[in-house]
Structure formats: C-alpha cells, structure tokens
C-alpha cells in the first residue's frame, strides 16, 4: 500500500513534471494563435488581401463525368494553372456535396446543372480564404421563370437568406452561362447577392476585405459626382444597377466578370475596388 506521503510526492511530481509544462505549452499555443489571427486581420486591413489562401491536405475530386463537364464548359477553369485547377475542382466538389439541389415542376437535376452552378459560385469566391457561403445550403431550380406567391410576380432568380436558399430559372441561368460577354448573367448576379449578404453577416478575413472594399467603392462614388453621372450616361451598366446597393454590386459583378477590359477602361477606380474586394488575381483580370 502506498503511504499518504508517497502518494503526495507522486502527485506533486506528476503536476510539476507533466501537467504544468503541458498547460504552459497550451497557453503559449493559444497566445500564438490569437496573435496570428490579429496579425492576419491587420495585414488584410492594410494590404486588402489575405496573407494566404487556404491550402488543403486532401483535395476532393469530382466524378469523371462532372470533371469533363467542368473542363469542357467552363472557360475560367481552363485558364487556371494546374495547381489552381485542382483547388477549383475541390471547391466545386465541396459546393455540390454541401448543398442540396432541388428541381421544381418535374425538373430533373443533372450533373450539368450541378457543375455549372457550383462552378459559378466557386469562380466568384475563388480569391476568398473562407469560400463557403454560410448563407446557403439549398439550390432550387425551376425550368423557366417562376411565379412567386410572395410578391405575385414572375422571377428568374433570388436569394432567400432566411431559408438559406438560392433559386434559379434554369433557362435563364443557362442563357447567361452560354453568352459570356453581354453583361447579363443570372448565376453571377444571384451569387453576387449571396456573397454580399454573406459578407455583411460574417467577420472572417475575406468578409472584412469585401466589406472594406465595398465601403471604399461607395465612398469614392459619393465624393465624385462626375463619375456617378458617367455611370448613368455611359449606359455600360444596365439601369437595374441603380435600384439599391445590392443590385448595384450584383450588376457591377456581372460586368466585371464578363467584360473586364471594358470595365477597366471606362471605370478604372471601380474596377480596382471590385478586384480587391474579390481578391481576383487571375488571368484576364
């Protein structure tokens, strides 16, 4: 039987030799983690970009059929480096895995639909460190424009943050997807709303950069009346952009993605704001 004195000595040695050092190490690691987080946010605030984009220990892969669709149908993907293509494929796969796709009015969901929609979301958030949209977990697809019982009108698409849902008319989504230079793209437009709303409700680094960039953009416009007038008279952006701040960003995003050279030529300051907000450093931009 171990005496009380020996037991006390054993416990004392256990605490001093193992528990205390372990506690010190854990506290030190926590402090380092917090300092790194603070530094990352400071860096993002000053330089308007994350220190690094997330790397993955294991990359998800699409099925062979889905990968062929992505490779053949998505021009943005084809322009990426092989390393970026692997990361892009991973994010497309994650979107498909983490979102429920629902077809309405007897519409059958296909791999073409899943890949096209997931690739659009991935493209727009590809410069983000935190790329998954907490705002969404369901994609609803109608064959054509659908009648909304809420406001008694036909819709082509919408984002419902309360139901964590994004909705598309497939006919209109596909038209925007197939015609890449008319600045009308339903998928980009609605995911633009989702990204904007998601950033307004989060405080991660990518949301910080986005929100600061949008504030810079609106402040710039407030201070330059001539630019505001030129936005309207140029007719480069469709009139729907001037409905409210969310439509303004969504329309600018359509133009930024589809006709970047013209955007940069006509409105260089706005173009740079958009590029920084999205951390968009890819070929063609």
pLDDT of residue 203: 84
DSSP letters spanning 119-176: HHHHHHTTT-SS-S-TT-SEEEEESS-EEETTTTEEESEEEETTTTEEEEEHHHHHHH
pLDDT of residue 36: 60
Q: Would residue 53 count as lying in a domain?
A: no
Q: Which of 199, 214, 238 is the last residue of a domain?
A: 199
Q: How many domains does the chain have?
A: 2
Q: Would residue 214 count as lying in a domain?
A: yes
Q: Would residue 215 count as lying in a domain?
A: yes
* pTM of the shown model: 0.82
| Domain containing residue 235 | 205-278
pLDDT of residue 39: 55
Same domain, 70 and 195: yes
CATH assignment at residue 136: 1.10.472.150
Q: Which residues pair with 100 in a beta bridge?
A: 138
Task: Give the separation between CA 88 and CA 91, rounded to whole angstroms.
Answer: 5
Q: Which of 199, 222, 252 is the last residue of a domain?
A: 199
Same domain, 108 and 176: yes
Same domain, 129 and 246: no
Task: Give the separation between CA 111 and CA 261, rounded to whole angstroms.
Answer: 32
Ranges of the chain with pLDDT below 50: 1-2
pLDDT of residue 41: 54
Q: Would residue 37 count as lying in a domain?
A: no
Residue-wise burial string across 253-265, b where 16 or more C-beta atoms lie within 10 A, e elsewhere? bbbbbbbbeebbe
Same domain, 179 and 238: no
Do the Cβ atoms of 161 and 135 come closer than 8 Å?
Answer: yes
Task: Give the separation between CA 261 and CA 3, rounded to whole angstroms.
Answer: 83
Task: Give the separation between CA 87 and CA 103, rounded to whole angstroms.
Answer: 28
């Amino acid at each position: 039987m171990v005496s009380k004195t020996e037991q006390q000595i054993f416990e004392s040695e256990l605490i001093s030799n193992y528990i205390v050092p372990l506690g010190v190490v854990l506290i030190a690691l926590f402090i380092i983690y917090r300092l790194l987080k603070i530094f990352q946010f400071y860096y993002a605030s000053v330089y308007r970009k994350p220190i690094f984009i997330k790397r993955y220990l294991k990359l998800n892969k699409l099925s062979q059929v889905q990968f062929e669709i992505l490779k053949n149908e998505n021009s943005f993907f084809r322009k990426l480096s092989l390393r970026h293509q692997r990361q892009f494929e991973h994010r497309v796969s994650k979107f498909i895995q983490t979102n429920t796709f629902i077809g309405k009015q007897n519409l059958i969901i296909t791999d073409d639909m899943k890949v096209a929609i997931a690739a659009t979301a991935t493209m727009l958030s590809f410069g983000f460190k935190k790329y998954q949209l907490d705002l969404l977990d369901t994609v609803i697809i109608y064959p054509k424009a659908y009648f909304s019982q809420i406001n008694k009108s036909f819709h082509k698409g919408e984002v419902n943050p309360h139901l964590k849902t994004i909705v598309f008319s497939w006919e209109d989504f596909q038209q925007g997807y197939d015609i890449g230079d008319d600045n009308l793209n339903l998928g980009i437009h609605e995911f633009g709303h989702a990204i904007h709303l998601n950033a307004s409700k989060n405080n991660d680094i990518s949301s910080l950069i986005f929100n600061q960039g949008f504030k810079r953009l609106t402040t710039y416009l407030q201070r330059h009346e001539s630019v505001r007038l030129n936005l309207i008279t140029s007719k480069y952006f469709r009139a729907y952009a001037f409905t409210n701040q969310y439509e303004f960003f969504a329309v600018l995003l359509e133009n930024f993605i589809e006709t970047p050279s013209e955007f940069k030529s006509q409105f260089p300051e706005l173009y740079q704001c958009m590029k920084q907000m999205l951390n968009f450093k890819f070929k063609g931009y």
